[in-house]
Amino acid sequence: MTTPPKIRSEMERELYLRVIDLEARVRELEKRLKSTRAAAKTAAERKALAVEKKHKPRPRCPGCTLELPPGRRGVSCVWCGFRFDAVPPWPAKRRRR
Ligand SMILES: [Zn+2]
């Protein structure tokens, strides 16, 4: 819409100019919204990635290989009752931060 349609009155001309102005503003807002959405998306993705990183694999029971629940590690597995002192201590290669 670059060439104005037949303008019959001053009011129509005024309205036409306002429509042009509003269209430009809407386009500007859409552009801004798009970039905001993109930024929000990447922020959400980054957050999800951080959460994923935070979720470290839990120690597993050597008997039933189920992940041990968080908290203090008892002397035996809560799932199968495997005695942890029945096997040599686990390698300490995965250090807790
Ligand atoms: Zn177990």
Distance 67 CA to ligand 1 centre (A): 8
Tokens of 23: 């269209």
pTM of model > 0.85: no
Distance from Cα 22 to the centre of ligand 1, integer Å: 67
d(CA 68, CA 96): 15
pLDDT in tens, the chain (97 residues): 555 567 678 989 999 999 999 999 999 999 999 988 888 888 888 888 777 767 778 888 988 999 988 877 788 999 999 998 888 766 656 555 5
Q: Where are the alpha helices (DSSP H) in the chain?
A: 10-54
Q: Ligand 1 center to residue 86 CA distance, Å?
A: 12
